[in-house]
Structure 1
């Protein structure tokens, strides 16, 4: 059986990306509530804030690694997108972990660039959205139109109906 390795269009991948963000809001909200409840956090100004960031990084990592190792996140099922290895086969948890770490290139460069300047929230949003657009458009220069973090991780996104159980 041959798997068609058609790359989803950029607009569909970005729509999936936005939808994933909406779903992750719920995951992050629940994880933050759990951390705050179990850690008895009573104030937004808490010395354990870096621990919360680390906890969220791990929770989101578990979410993505588990779903990607099974082929699709919930948003990817909705948009008929699947992550596979370069060979078109399912990826391992280790490769999914590598993809997760490399996918932070969507966020870290703009956040590191704005951190020394104490910009307002609106300015940070504009800079981040600009970077997201640049990073997404750079996929047009990849031979298979893949995002560069996928190329680096040895993965690719393909068009695929939701996988059955």
Structure 2
């Protein structure tokens, strides 16, 4: 029997809209942090020090998500789409649970990235196609669950809920 979570579960469409908006915002975050990394390490070529840059970006993204999830449960995109992540009791996430959710959220991309690596695909179109197929597969997997939860949320015992702003008082 599934635990009862407070709050209404948003539709998959709203969560995917937030996901896409988050990607747009994260482009700016990774651009600025990549520029900072290049300046601090005096990196002159994107191909030299690529592993260090990837590790740095992984940590920056982790800090971004963990901080927002533990301080209000909403990233900027989640606020725009009125979504909030909570634990199984409806409480804000602890740092440990937020870290676990961040690490497990890479399940969105890891199977596609692994298939690209092992198939030795190098073209941008092939990589984008594999990532798109992986994301769509992950969404379809959520459709199999009765409450449409994503795998990483099930494993972390978290849930994304609808969080509408409070109604404004009329003067």
* Number of corresponding residues: 160
**Aligned 1:109-148 pairs, distance under 5 A:** 109-119=111-121, 120-148=123-151
1:52-77 alpha-carbon deviations (Å, 9 max, x no partner): 11100000000000001121000000
- Find 2:27's aligned residue among 25, 28, 46: 25
Are 1:98 and 2:103 counterparts? no
Residues in 2 aligned to 1:27 and 1:64: alpha-carbon distance in whole angstroms? 11
For the residue of structure 1 that corresponds to 2:85, the secondary structure is strand
Maintained 8 Å contact 1:8/1:158: yes
Partners of 2:47 and 2:134 in 1: how far apart? 29
Q: Which runs of 5+ in 2 are unaligned?
A: 167-171
Shift of 1:118: 2.9
User: For 2:153, which of 138, 150, 157 is the aligned residue?
Assistant: 150
Q: 2:28 & 2:152 partners in 1: Cα distance? A: 25
Q: Is the 8 A contact 1:110 1:127 kept in 2?
A: yes
| Pairwise CA distance, 1:110 | 0.4
Asked if structure 2 preserves the Cα contact closer than 8 Å seen for 1:136 and 1:147, the reply is: yes
The residue number in structure 2 matching 1:68 is 69
